[in-house]
Structures are given as structure tokens and as C-alpha cells.
Amino acid sequence: MFVEGADEQGSSFEDEGTDEYLTASDWRCILKGTALVTRVSMDGTNRPRLGRRSYLFGATLGVGTLVAGHRYRGGDETTADPAGQETDTSADPGESEGDTAAAQSGGEDGTATGREDEAGNVSLQVTATNAPVRGGDELEVVAEVENTGETVLRPTIDFLVDSRRRTTITTTVAPGETKPLDTGSVRIYPVAENDTLTIGLESETAVAERTVDVLAVDGLAAAQTPAREITVQPGTSILFDVESDALGAYGGGAYWFVDDAYEGHSQGVWNTAYYSHQNAAYWRHTFDSTGTYEVTVAIDGDEQNSRAAWTVHVTPTGTAAPAIDGKRPAADSLEAGRDGDLELELDVTHPEGDLERVVWWLGHADRLLGVSDVTGADDTAALTLEGGCHGCPIIAWVISTDGTITEEQVWLLE
């Protein structure tokens, strides 16, 4: 299952942790393009059942062969929460054998093994970590589950960091088997002072915890968005950028957090182009809801990490984003490279009089064409375009001194 921020993945034919049977009727449905799917609610309650769709959408067959009338069993399943890690297989975070309901399919009853089979025979252990870990680095955890009973178990295990679920793992464990758990790595918030956090494993009948030391990182002077406290209206986007020698040749190594939750890092060809031109790595975020947010970036250096932070207040009376009020040429489509260079102009405004710059992009080609300095409440940005590419859009970023940004495709080259 995909939950905000994890990679989209399709549903699986398996009903988590449950042995089901494919009947001849089921196979007729599959051959006709009908998929068996597990439906799980998004409100935290589990209402799984086998359903049918008249098309195959996002469905994947796991390793193995399905034979009509023979049971099939799911493999290990891992799901990351919105602030979690990338995972290989989607699964519902809250579902395990005990709360999986089997429905009738083709006239035959499915089978489900209840949680009572666990009977306290699951043992969890965190065996090692890479602590102490510096803020901004990844915490790596070695963990395992043991089946101390005499029957096969399929427990659902949550991996927690400071009581926040980061990963949920559902795995099959044979009697007497000790099995490693792939919890994934966790990007740690860049704390300003030494701190600790608690990591844990939790199933229905077992808990394991360990305290981890987190080392503080030094502050970093941020570039381009000097206002460390920003007040904006809901729905406003802000461009944050930082410069540091630790970012290397391509501007990687900047990791961004909102209210200590990891949101992503500066990456991609546009970030590389921006870094080459501005000597800064950037990250954009849109603040849709009112409230106060702390935005922090961790710069991952070879010798030491560093951090920069902003406070963003989102209120209805906050500052609005800058705007584009006019353009020349006025047409939306331009013929590039046929009559020499193109002279482009944009009329830009900002309600608080804090215009700073316009960044010009050539889409599809992923080229930063140039940066125009602008000031005050209204100004004109100009660019001479030499050549171009057929079907490429010209995109403008209008940015104010506090980082509020408006992006607009202003022309299309034909």
C-alpha cells in the first residue's frame, strides 16, 4: 500500500499473512482479466476482504507459481510510513494474521490463521546499531525475530523511532527459527545539542527497545533566503537554498526536515543545474495549512555535518507569493531559432515590495537559462534567448527575498 511519501506500489495477490486457495472459478476470473485484491481501509482500521476488479491495475505476482486449488503464501512484506524509508513490497501497516478475514471465493471457504497461534512465542531483539549517530546521518539497525514455539508463525512487527512507526514488517518464521529483520535506515534529524532517541520493535506479544545517542551538529549560514522567520498565506510555496563546500561538485548531500520529520533531499538535474549556476542546493515546499513549522536542512559533510533552520508561520494574513502580471511577447507560443535571438520580458510584482530575482528555465532540456535581478513591488525581468528546442517550455521562477516563489510556464517554443 502507498501512504504519503512512500513509492507507489501496486496491490499484491496475497492477503497478508493468510493462506488462501485459488479455485477454478478464481482462475477463470484471472484469465478473463479479473484481479483478486485485498481492500484495506486508510483510517487505521482493517477491513480486509477478497474483492474483484474487472481490470488488472497495479497488481503484481510474487515469486512462485499459482496452481488452481493449491494454496499460496505471501512472502516477507515491508511498509514504510510517510516519513519512513523506501521499501520493496507494499503491505498494510496494521494488518496481520489475526485481523485478516477470509471471504468465500468461488464457493470455497478461505482459511485464516488467528493471532492466538502466536501464543507469546515471538521474541524480538535489537542486536546492533551504528550509534552514536550524527544528526543528519542515517541510523542503521540490526534486528531479529525468533519463533520459540512449535508452529509456523507470521507476526506483524512495527519498527518505531521515538514512538513513531517508521516501518512495518510481516514475515513468516518457522519453529525454532531466528530471522533477521530489514528495518531499513532512518535519516536522523540534525539536533543542535546532543540528544537521545529510542528505537523499538513491537509485535502483538513482544517488545524490544534500545536507546541511541545522537550527536549535535553545528549551525550553517544559509544563502539566498536570509529571513529565518517567514510569515506566509496558506498555499504559498517557499524556496529554501543553502551553500556549503561540503555539498561537493553537484550539490548533493542536503537533507530536509519539516518539524523533525524527514521530507527528502536536494537531487535531480534541475538541482544540479541550479547548484552550478547559484552555488547553492535548493528545496521547495508548499505550506497548505495554517500553523507554525520548523524547516531544517542537514548538510552531510565528510568530516562533520552542519544545519540551518527556518521558522515558517502560515496565517491568512501572511505574505502572498510574487506574481507575473505581464509578458512580452504576449503570445503563448514562440518560434525559436528561426529569426535570430528572442528578447523576452516579464512584468513581476510582490505585495510587500520584496522582489529579488527571476530564474529562467528551458524545460525538457533541463537548462537554467539565466537569473534576472529584480527589486521593489514591481519590476521587469529580461532575457535574451539564443536558440532553443522544439516543444520546450520556458518556465520562470519569481522569487522574493523571503523565499516565497511562483512558478509559471510563460511560453512554449515551436
Radius of gyration over alpha carbons of the chain, in Å? Answer: 27
Give the number of C-alpha atoms closer than 13 A to the C-alpha of residue 339, restricted to the C-beta side.
6
Model confidence pLDDT, tens digit, residues 209-261? 999 999 999 998 655 566 789 999 999 999 998 888 888 777 778 999 999 89
Question: 180: which strand partners?
Answer: 144
The answer to whether 285 and 263 are in contact (CB under 8 A) is yes
User: What is the assigned CATH class of domain 218-314?
Assistant: mainly beta
CA 59/CA 90 separation, integer angstroms: 11
User: What is the assigned CATH class of domain 116-215?
Assistant: mainly beta
Residue type, 294: E
Please state the domain extents for the chain: 1-108, 116-215, 218-314, 323-413
Residues (pLDDT < 50) of the chain are 1-74, 84-118
Do 116-215 and 323-413 show the same overall fold?
A: yes
Distance of CA 27 to the CA centre of its chain: 36
Give whole-number Cα distances, 261 to 96, 143, 219, 258, 396, in Å.
27, 23, 19, 5, 30
Structural domain 323-413, CATH architecture: Sandwich (2.60)
Distance of CA 210 to the CA centre of its chain: 26
Instruction: Tell me the average pLDDT of the chain.
Output: 76
Give the number of C-alpha atoms closer than 13 A to the C-alpha of residue 284, restricted to the C-beta side.
14
Instruction: Note the pLDDT of residue 226.
Output: 65
Instruction: Note the pLDDT of residue 302.
Output: 78
